[in-house]
Amino acid sequence: MKSAIVGEFLGTALLILLGNGVVASVVLLDKQADWIVITTGWGLAVMLGIYLSGRLSGGHINPAVTLALAVRGQLPWPRVPVYWAAQVAGAFAGAMLVYVDYAEAFRAFEAANGLTRGQLVEGRLPDPAAGGAGVFFTAPAFDVTWRSLFSEVLGTAVLLVGVRALSDRRNTHFREYFEPMLVGLLVFAIGLSLGGLTGYAINPARDLGPRLAAALLGWGPAAFQTHDWYFWVPIVGPFVGGIIGVFVYDLLIHPNLPSRDEPTPPGTIVS
């Protein structure tokens, strides 16, 4: 269990360090970047986080993945809260490292844009980039909560369907070494296609850990109050989407897969 805790903590910390780091570079330093750069950075962060933690803990680095696997009987339930704690703590630590690295950039950004850290304007942190706190956590593009919730559910469901497909030995012929790379590409694709509405948390720890760090670093209660207490959406949405995604794959795809020695597609004639 100790190795699993270390794996999930360090894997999630690396995920947030690199993921929040690329956002900080774009938001605070205006580094000739756009959404493609951010989604690329997050995809690579996921890949490297899984490579780091995979052998120790399975490389979940996402409470929604942990819950979905427990629901399907592939992870003992007593491990779930331990994994969650390690993931949130790792995300918090990664966010704190990003702030230490970019502290001067945060101060310069706030001074240049006349921002007061943690001050809400009409119930939300002001633009640009949500007062700089947008480096740490996600926010909706539109104030329609159920649509944001649906987007997080959908994105995480797609994530779990893809993760199951990539890890299912009956469905793929990829060696284990390539799986983290492919999961990173999956997250990259989700970000490009489905991430614009909410910032695609698709991972409760990815949003909650850095949000806690932001609250401690001066944004205070505003980190949770902004956008009409939106913070619960990137927590609940991924949990629901993860369970939906794992059931979609395990009930509709896996049972219909042929054995490894059958041709693709099944029923074709091999001369």
Helix (H, G, I), strand (E, B) or coil at 104: helix
The confidence score (pLDDT) of residue 266 equals 62
Backbone dihedral angles phi then psi of residue 121, each to the nearest 5 degrees: -125, 115
Contact yes or no for 171/264 (Cβ under 8 A): no
Helix (H, G, I), strand (E, B) or coil at 43: helix
The confidence score (pLDDT) of residue 246 equals 96
What is the b/e burial string over 34-58, where b = at least 16 CB atoms within 10 angstroms of the residue's CB?
Answer: eeeebbbbbbbbbbbbbbbbbebbb
The tokens of 222 are what? 């505003």
The confidence score (pLDDT) of residue 175 equals 63
The confidence score (pLDDT) of residue 258 equals 79
Which amino acid would we find at residue 182?
A: L
The pTM score is 0.91
Contact yes or no for 137/226 (Cβ under 8 A): no
The tokens of 25 are what? 């570079």
How far is CA 244 from its chain centroid? Answer: 17
**Tens digit of pLDDT per residue, the chain (271 long)?**
888 999 999 999 999 999 999 999 999 987 767 888 999 999 999 999 999 999 899 999 999 999 999 999 999 999 999 999 999 999 999 999 999 999 999 999 999 999 999 999 988 999 888 899 999 999 998 988 999 999 999 999 999 999 998 888 777 666 667 889 999 999 999 999 999 999 999 999 999 999 999 999 999 999 999 999 999 999 999 999 999 999 999 999 988 887 776 766 665 555 5
